[in-house]
Structure 1
């Protein structure tokens, strides 16, 4: 593995984070960003505003960046799931509902919201290092994440690191193109 440093993201990392967030969601994020964008604003502009802000779940303030000698190579966004998660808002887009339902099945865990590495940096141990780093955010009931059923490479990594499939939900696509059919909740106790 190359020399690796994991640091808190800063506002200037937003341009780097946006495509990695979209990659981690297999393009679902970009579709949702396009739907939520203001008239005349494109999906990437909307996402950049959200990541550069301090309130959104994808804010740089909740992100970590992995760096090697080659530069920025991956990212992690994590948060805790409370013991009693709030009810899912009725206005939540249908495509996100299954993801939130799965999060609700992992109360009291540290939740890995985004873990992504640059394509040319994969296979070098960066994802494993980010997963290990995430352990500091472990909740009383362990760690959790959600992954697409067709993302076999990521699932194999998570299984090697001690995560086990716990529950699934059907994907709601509404025009989103994905080879997957189900979201899989994985938990490490």
Structure 2
């Protein structure tokens, strides 16, 4: 396995994995942004190919196998400090609890999305990406890692706990079409 910075040419694969990590929320939001003849995944790929924004390929690192096939990805970056919630009412209802939780960890290195392609699960891809991301956080001078996970996503929570993350705050999941989990969104933190 090789972990490296994502390239703009990988935008479509990133969008697919971002939607997987986001438990369908990205596709739900992208469907409202789709233009005539454009699929939600097309919107996601367009957004991932941007030079700016949280979902930009600039914030992504990818794990490749020996043949160069993308096995998984992580999107992470430093949270603002202070974190301004003045525009919270402008966010869609399903996103507001996530933004509120993000604000609980200002200045942290935030793992916005991490996902492994189903064909490569169980091979340590997510663990390798998480460790690589911690290296990026240290290089950036961050003293804390943060991420948000669904309380009912037991497999992901177990992995994060094994890596030293602990739940600190929670907000209820706002149901959306196709949502795989109910319960709460949980902010998990790890000191560096």
Instruction: Report the TM-score when normalising by structure 2.
Output: 0.91
Local SS of the residue matching 1:74: strand
Matches within 5 A, 1:99-114: 99-114=98-113
Does 2:21 match 1:21?
no
Between Structure 1 and Structure 2, how many residues are aligned? 186
Distance 1:173 1:36 in 2: 20
CA-to-aligned-CA distance 1:116-140 (integer Å, 9 cap, x gap): 1011211111111111011121454
Distance 1:172 1:61 in 2: 29
CA-to-aligned-CA distance 1:21-45 (integer Å, 9 cap, x gap): 0000111110011123235532111
Q: Do the aligned partners of 2:153 and 2:181 also contact (CA within 8 Å) in 1?
A: no
Distance 2:158 2:23 in 1: 17
What displacement does 1:94 show? 0.8
Gaps of 5+ in 1: none
With 175-184 and 159-168 compared, the bigger mean Cα shift is at 175-184
Instruction: Report the TM-score when normalising by structure 1.
Output: 0.92
Which residue of the partner structure matches residue 145 of structure 2?
A: 143
Matches within 5 A, 1:90-105: 90-105=89-104
Distance 1:174 1:24 in 2: 15
Which residue of the partner structure matches residue 170 of structure 1?
A: 172
Gaps of 5+ in 2: none
CA-to-aligned-CA distance 1:143-169 (integer Å, 9 cap, x gap): 000011111111111001000011110
Matches within 5 A, 1:9-48: 9-48=6-45
Distance 2:142 2:98 in 1: 21
Does 2:89 match 1:87?
no
Structure 1 outlier segments of 4+, above 4 Å = none
